Amino acid sequence: MIRPMDALPVFFDLRGRDVLVVGGGAVAERKIDLLLRAGARVTVVAPGLSAALTARRDRGEVEHLARAFQESDVAGRALVVAAADDAAVNAAASRAAQAAGVPVNVVDAPELCTVTFGSIVEREPITVAISSGGRAPVLARLLKARLEHELPAAFGRLAALAGKYRARVKARLPESGVRRAFWEWVMHGPVAEAVFAGREAEAEALLEARLADPAAAPRRGCVYLVGAGPGDPDLMTFRALRILQKADIIFYDRLIPKAVLDLARRDAERFYVGKERSHHCVPQSQINALLIEHARAGRTVVRLKGGDPFIFGRGGEEALALAEAGVDFQVVPGITAASGCAAYAGIPLTHRDLARGVRFLTGHTRDGRVDLDLIGRPHPQETLVFYMALSQLEVICRALVERGLPGDWPAAAIEQGTTARQRVVEATLDTLPAGVQAAGLRSPALLIVGRVARLRARLGWFLDEAEGGTGPVYGHGAG
Ligand SMILES: C[S@@+](CC[C@H](N)C(=O)[O-])C[C@H]1O[C@@H](n2cnc3c(N)ncnc32)[C@H](O)[C@@H]1O
């Protein structure tokens, strides 16, 4: 059985064709902008014109019939758009157009239309039009907003590249199945990634090489070091999401929430390489070797890391190993724990009057001890953020006081920040260690020291689970 549709989506070539717009006000203006961009020759019939349309008429961009609409105005038009303030005029235009067999759109009156305009997302030469059949225009606009975000701006450049090679590819690969496989390789593989990364010359070189020798070109793998953000999956970037969804294999660690892993393709292999402090599940050298091995086998490898890969994430070491091995890689930044936890705890890291700088420090080094030299002389106008500070909390707080900060200096510890299980202990350098112990905070936790910590009392907006919040839950339970 044929399932009926409200309307057939079609794309209308209006270049050089006559379109009549009835009405000369603000509503007509918006439609005329669109029609002119579509290359139409626009005639406006209306007793008066808005200032913007007057300017268009004076520049010769539209023709103006300065009078009331007449039925005969629709003759010979490719399209009629009725956008007058007067509903009776619009209805008359609709009747006249339909009687003459001319497609007609009446703004905000779907019952008088034979054609409607969709919400449009443009990635030249790609155009997406969305229609709700006039039933839920706000929902259509919401979808448009979502697509605007989800379609990388570079999609248009990729489509333009495909357009440039279309005829050559067709001639070189006459068999349609082979040609389709070629284009799938282009759209999903290194060519698309090179375009998205702004390396168009490289994209063309790859495409040319494959076109010259479609069978022999080896599949080239790539490793993506992807930052998954601090816990809330909504804090991932669109780029991270897109790359995750095309991964063949994903190496992830302890700080990756299950909800993030669930965003990957169902058939992608998932490989836990998580580390606990001083308990390395898979040694770093072995992780590096695995990344290299799978990329060399031509796979799309994602190394998924909590927060940002280049902030206390050993992403730098992995990137160096890949560079040395001659394996292609890209780094996708993520929201680091300091930004995420501070935002969700209501603690601005800088503030014009309270903190003019911020430093990110590690609370433990390779041998598990804190490097006190790193702290130097803390400045009252700076915020200090310590990652991995829990086990050395007392040592750090004491060292900060010894180095000049008052014992009642504000400090906060945040456990599982940005997730439903977020807990925050606010105290001072003197009282924080006992407060954290009493609350039983555990890793992952972040320490923020500075006068900005006091702002939490006024700026804390995020409700954790205990406060009735329904945010995401952290951790996947592996390892
Ligand atoms: C190995 S570091 C990884 C940091 C990560 N690359 C980043 O940019 O956030 C792990 C430490 O980050 C901090 N951390 C990460 N996520 C956190 C969260 N959701 N809440 C509190 N601290 C977090 C903790 O200090 C944890 O011990």
Q: Where does ligand 1 bind, in terms of residues with CB under 6 Å?
A: 230-231, 255, 305-308, 311-313, 336-337, 341, 387-388, 414, 416-418, 443-446
To the question of domain 338-467 being in CATH 3.30.950.10, the answer is yes
pLDDT for 133-173, tens place per residue?
777 778 888 888 888 877 777 888 899 999 999 999 999 99
pLDDT for 222-239, tens place per residue?
899 999 999 999 999 988
Task: Kindly report each contact of residues 239-248 with a partner whose C-beta sits within 8 Å and lies 24 or more positions away, as own/partner.
Answer: 239/152, 239/196, 239/332, 240/332, 240/334, 242/152, 243/302, 243/330, 243/332, 244/302, 244/304, 246/188, 246/300, 247/300, 247/301, 247/302, 248/294, 248/299, 248/300, 248/301
Q: How far is the CA of 305 from the centre of ligand 1 (A)?
A: 10
The mean pLDDT value for 428-452 works out to 97
pTM of the complete model beyond 0.75: no
pLDDT band at 103 (very low <50, low <70, confident <90, very high): very high
Q: How far is the CA of 389 from the centre of ligand 1 (A)?
A: 10
**Beta bridge pairs of residue 428:** 410
Superfamily holding 119-151 = Sirohaem synthase, central domain (3.30.160.110)
> Residue 479 above 80 pLDDT?
no
DSSP string, 342-375: HHHHT--S-BTTTBSEEEEEES--TTS---HHHH
> Residue 375's Cα: distance from chain center in Å?
36
**CATH class of the structural domain 18-117:** alpha beta
Q: Which residue's CA is minimally distant from atom 5 of ligand 1?
A: 307
Q: How far is the CA of 415 from the centre of ligand 1 (A)?
A: 9
Q: What is the pLDDT of residue 6?
A: 80
| Strands (DSSP E) found in 180-327 | 222-227, 249-252, 269-272, 275-276, 279-280, 300-305
> Residue 214 above 90 pLDDT?
no
For the domain bounded by 222-335, which CATH number is listed?
3.40.1010.10
- The domain spans of the chain are 18-117, 119-151, 155-211, 222-335, 338-467
Q: What is the pLDDT of residue 369?
A: 74
pLDDT band at 278 (very low <50, low <70, confident <90, very high): low
Residue found under tokens 């990729």: 158
Q: What is the pLDDT of residue 474?
A: 46
**Whole-number Å distance between alpha carbons of 373 and 273:** 31
Q: How far is the CA of 405 from the centre of ligand 1 (A)?
A: 25
How long, in residues, is the chain? 479
Catalytic residue positions, numbered = 253, 275
Phi, psi of 241 (to 5 degrees): -65, -45
Atom of ligand 1 nearest to the CA of 389: 25
* Radius of gyration in angstroms for the set of CA atoms belonging to the chain, rounded to a whole number: 30
> Is the model more confident about 217 or about 294?
294
Q: What angle do CA 226, 263, 118 make, to 5 degrees?
A: 105
pLDDT for 357-412, tens place per residue?
999 999 987 676 778 888 899 999 999 999 999 999 999 999 999 999 999 999 99
**Whole-number Å distance between alpha carbons of 106 and 21:** 10
Mutate to test the pocket of ligand 1, among 232, 280, 303, 387 (most ligand atoms within 8 A of CB): 387
Average pLDDT, the chain: 90
